[in-house]
């Protein structure tokens, strides 16, 4: 296999062949020696390229997620020996790494607390609530993981997609959602009330341990594949973009402060993602400080300058996101309290990549129906962290009926649902 040493394409083809063999039922032990020979000369970007090719070959996302589970145990151990790149404290990757260390510590704490709560008790004995308090505290801290995943999915993945890397991020988002569901089940179990040692032992084996195993496996995937690949791929301006937008999402268990400061932005005040999308589409842009030509935008019912429009969008009691006819995110409003995170990195991103794999088919169905003029409105409502959220999608068409795109309108209706009677006198809330 000497041809693999200096031939990236050959290594990727060979890895793909071996992974397909795993998916057909070959054991990991049987192919390990073959894989060792390939991966010894490969890097994380080649593993990602292999997954990208499998998707391009028509492998469904859920099938690739299964393949990911199969080959992860083979790949991860072989990539672990590669040293991590030294980075200044506070660099986005440094923060991701420190968060992973903190998450691994909390996972260990939950394992230890759960084991201690059950240790030395008879199977039929009821576990007192105070014995499980350390486990509940460790679990609550662990749930800060959502901020880690949200920055990865909404800031890092969109920029990888600009470089043509969509497969690994799609698969990893699906695996993130599996971790979320497993942790949700653990949380429900920990708040369910009293139970015997035997019942908690079952919960430990079928809920707690699988959730922590999945979380720790995702940490390994990030450390050995995602983050090294990202460092090879992104440039300094793109890391700066992630650094600037990260506070909008938040941090997981660590203080992000450090020595890292991105290079000064000497270009226009237009976000990088917006500028790149406009350049691809041939759209003329103007600085946020001035309207086109310095004048007002004239509508059939009046006129507004750019400052008026920005002010109106900022106080609307709804969140707006517009997806153009090519299914790319073109615009969103920045209200004071958005329901869903919308970092600027999503501008120009294909809308199917902005949703977890489990819901992409719904988005694609809506866009297909709107484009074909089968429907004009799709409506949903959900309970989200104690809030009642109303989501509507509207087909946007010109006066001739030509499809221009889709407008998503999201509103938190929790307060409105509680209103009763009338208010006819002025009263400020």
Would you give per-residue pLDDT tens digits along the chain (429 residues)?
455 445 777 777 877 787 777 777 777 677 767 777 776 676 666 777 777 777 777 666 666 666 666 556 556 555 544 566 688 999 999 999 999 999 999 999 999 999 999 988 888 888 888 888 999 999 999 999 999 999 999 999 999 988 888 877 788 888 899 999 999 999 988 887 778 989 999 999 999 999 999 999 899 889 888 898 899 899 999 999 999 999 988 999 999 888 898 877 644 455 565 666 556 666 555 554 444 445 678 787 888 888 888 899 988 999 999 999 999 999 999 877 788 878 888 888 888 888 887 888 899 999 999 999 999 999 999 998 889 999 999 999 999 999 999 999 999 999 999 999 998 888 887
State the Cα–Cα distance between residues 366 and 289, nearest whole angstrom: 35
Contact of 66 with 236, CB cutoff 8 Å: no
**φ, ψ of residue 392 in degrees (nearest 5):** -130, 145
In this prediction, residue 367 carries a pLDDT of 95
State the Cα–Cα distance between residues 133 and 113, nearest whole angstrom: 8
CA 35 to chain CA centroid, Å, is: 29
Contact of 342 with 408, CB cutoff 8 Å: no
Query: What sign results for the dihedral spanned by CA atoms 139, 109, 217, 148?
Result: positive
As given in the structure block, the two tokens for residue 398 are 């010109």
Q: How distant, in Å, are the alpha carbons of 155, 246, 252, 320 from that of 149?
A: 10, 12, 9, 23
The neighbouring-strand residues paired with 332 are: 321
In this prediction, residue 268 carries a pLDDT of 44
Helix (H, G, I), strand (E, B) or coil at 328: strand
In this prediction, residue 292 carries a pLDDT of 46
Q: Name the E strands within 66-142.
A: none
**φ, ψ of residue 396 in degrees (nearest 5):** -105, 125
The neighbouring-strand residues paired with 299 are: 302
**φ, ψ of residue 90 in degrees (nearest 5):** 100, -15
In this prediction, residue 93 carries a pLDDT of 96
State the Cα–Cα distance between residues 266 and 285, nearest whole angstrom: 17
State the Cα–Cα distance between residues 226 and 229, nearest whole angstrom: 5
Residue 387 parent element (H or E):
strand 387-397
In this prediction, residue 49 carries a pLDDT of 76
As given in the structure block, the two tokens for residue 234 are 């992104």
As given in the structure block, the two tokens for residue 353 are 């990549």
In this prediction, residue 276 carries a pLDDT of 63
Alpha helices in 40-91 (DSSP H): 44-56, 61-79
Closest by CA position to 126, among listed 187, 207, 193, 204: 193
State the Cα–Cα distance between residues 407 and 411, nearest whole angstrom: 13
State the Cα–Cα distance between residues 321 and 12, nearest whole angstrom: 38
């Amino acid at each position: 296999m000497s041809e693999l040493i200096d031939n990236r394409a050959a290594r990727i083809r060979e890895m793909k062949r071996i992974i397909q063999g795993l998916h057909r039922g070959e054991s990991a032990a049987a192919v390990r020696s073959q894989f060792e020979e390939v991966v010894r000369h490969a890097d994380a970007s080649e593993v990602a390229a292999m997954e990208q090719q499998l998707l391009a070959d028509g492998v469904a996302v859920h099938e690739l997620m299964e393949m990911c589970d199969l080959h992860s145990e083979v790949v991860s151990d072989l990539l672990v020996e590669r040293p991590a790149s030294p980075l200044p404290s506070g660099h986005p990757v440094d923060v991701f790494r420190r968060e992973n260390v903190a998450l691994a510590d909390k996972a260990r704490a939950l394992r230890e607390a759960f084991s201690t709560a059950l240790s030395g008790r008879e199977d039929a004995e009821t576990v007192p609530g105070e014995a499980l308090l350390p486990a509940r505290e460790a679990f609550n801290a662990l749930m800060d993981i959502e901020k880690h995943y949200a920055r990865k999915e909404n800031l890092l993945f969109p920029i990888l997609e600009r470089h043509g890397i969509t497969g690994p991020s799609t698969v990893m988002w699906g695996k993130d959602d599996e971790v979320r569901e497993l942790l949700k089940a653990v949380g429900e179990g920990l708040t369910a009330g009293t139970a015997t040692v035997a019942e908690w032992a079952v919960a430990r084996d079928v809920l707690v341990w699988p959730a922590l195993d999945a979380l720790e496996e995702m940490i390994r995937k990030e450390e050995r594949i995602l983050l090294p690949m990202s460092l090879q791929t992104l440039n300094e301006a793109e890391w700066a973009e992630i650094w600037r937008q990260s506070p909008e999402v938040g941090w997981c268990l660590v203080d992000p402060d450090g020595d890292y400061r991105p290079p000064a932005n000497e270009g226009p005040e237009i976000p990088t993602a917006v500028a790149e999308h406009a350049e691809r589409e041939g759209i003329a842009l103007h600085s946020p400080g001035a309207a086109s030509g310095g004048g007002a935008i004239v509508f059939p019912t009046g006129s507004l300058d750019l400052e008026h429009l920005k002010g109106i969008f900022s106080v609307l009691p709804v969140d707006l996101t517009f997806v153009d006819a090519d299914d790319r995110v073109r615009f969103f409003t920045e209200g004071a309290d958005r329901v869903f995170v919308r970092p600027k990195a999503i501008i120009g991103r294909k809308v199917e990549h902005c949703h977890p794999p489990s819901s992409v088919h719904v988005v694609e169905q809506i866009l297909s129906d709107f484009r074909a003029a089968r429907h004009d409105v799709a409506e949903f409502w959900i309970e989200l962290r104690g809030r009642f959220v109303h989501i509507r999608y509207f087909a946007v068409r010109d006066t001739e009926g030509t499809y221009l795109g889709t407008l998503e309108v999201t509103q938190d209706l929790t307060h409105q649902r509680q209103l009763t009677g009338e208010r006819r006198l002025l009263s400020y809330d």
